[in-house]
Chains A and B, each alone.
Chain A
Amino acid sequence: MNGFGITSTAIDLQVFRQQLLDISCGACVQFEGWVRDHNEGQRVLRLEYEVYEPLAVKEGNRIIREAIGKYGVINACAIHRSGLMELSEVAVVVGVASPHRGEAFDACRYIIDQAKVRLPIWKKEYYEGGRAEWVNCQRCAHSA
């Protein structure tokens, strides 16, 4: 199964993995983006994602189709969270299944890299001391 989705509740990774299974596939690559406790020297307590869902889903599915067309993988899926999230929660998951591992790694990398720069999703970080800021993450496309 292929596709991109947004959810405001915890991502069920077992269910997600099931969607990727295909008897023609010998490789599955899965990327998880987690909520970490720091960013640029500041201690992060939690995150909030704002998503403009109509366009995020449309553009996310476009990225998935591009990855399948470009790398010839069999299945590709991704889910992104919206709303408030606590440390260590899974903010995004990308999964790709293909006959061999090379194209699965490449397609998975393509999907997460494109998602970071093309989807209308914004992250607000809540810091120690009560301050909160929207993150300008154009630079984040090049880090984790």
Chain B
Amino acid sequence: MTGKKLKCTGWGVDPMKIKVSYFAAFREAAGTGSEILETAASTPAELFSECAALHPALQNYSSSLVAINDEMSAWEATLGEHDEVLFFPPVAGG
């Protein structure tokens, strides 16, 4: 895992460290299963946009599920320091 710095998205917002995990097609698109990012994103939606800027192949995907700390989450939930965010590509069980 690497500690990559992403651009701040707002004034006066301190960047925080967040672990991001990618699965299936997302892992292949990002070229890694997980990484630690320094980000000012306040929601999973903002964070995913930043990840897609970092890994352009992720831009091919528009919708998926997201979880924070192993609980399914809303895209507009509030992120906290040291949260682990799990980005799931469209699921295909069954």
Q: B85 to nearest A CB, angstroms? A: 13
How many residues of chain A get a CB closer than 8 Å to chain B's CBs?
Answer: 29
Chain B 44-71 interface 0/1 with A at a Cβ cutoff of 8 Å (1 = within): 0000000000000000000101010011
- A58 touching B70, Cβ below 8 Å: yes
- Please report whether the interface of chain A is mostly helix, strand, loop or mixed according to DSSP: mixed
Interface size class on chain B is: 10 to 19
Chain B residues lying within 8 Å of A33, measured Cβ to Cβ, are: 94
Bound Cα distance from A57 to B65, whole angstroms: 16
Are B25 and A122 neighbours in the complex by a CB distance under 8 Å? yes
Q: Within the complex, what minimum Cβ distance (angstroms) separates A110 from chain B? A: 13
B93 in contact (CB, < 8 A): yes
Verify if A1 is at the interface (C-beta below 8 Å from B).
no
- A135 at interface by CB-CB < 8 Å: yes
**B94 touching A115 by the CB < 8 A rule?**
yes
Chain A residue numbers with a CB within 8 Å of B70 are 54-55, 58
**Is the Cβ of A120 less than 8 Å from the Cβ of B94?**
no
| Known contacts A55-B67, A134-B24; A121 and B72 CB within 8 A of each other | no
Q: Which residues of B10-64 have CB atoms within 8 Å of chain A's CB atoms? A: 23-25, 28, 63
Residues of B within 8 A of A138 (CB): 63, 90-91
Sample of 18 more A-B contacts, CB < 8 Å, known A80-B94, A116-B92: A33-B94, A49-B93, A50-B23, A55-B67, A55-B86, A115-B94, A117-B91, A120-B91, A121-B91, A121-B92, A121-B93, A121-B94, A136-B89, A137-B90, A137-B93, A138-B63, A138-B90, A138-B91
Sorted nearest first, the 4 A-B pairs with minimum C-beta distance are A137-B92, A121-B93, A122-B24, A134-B25
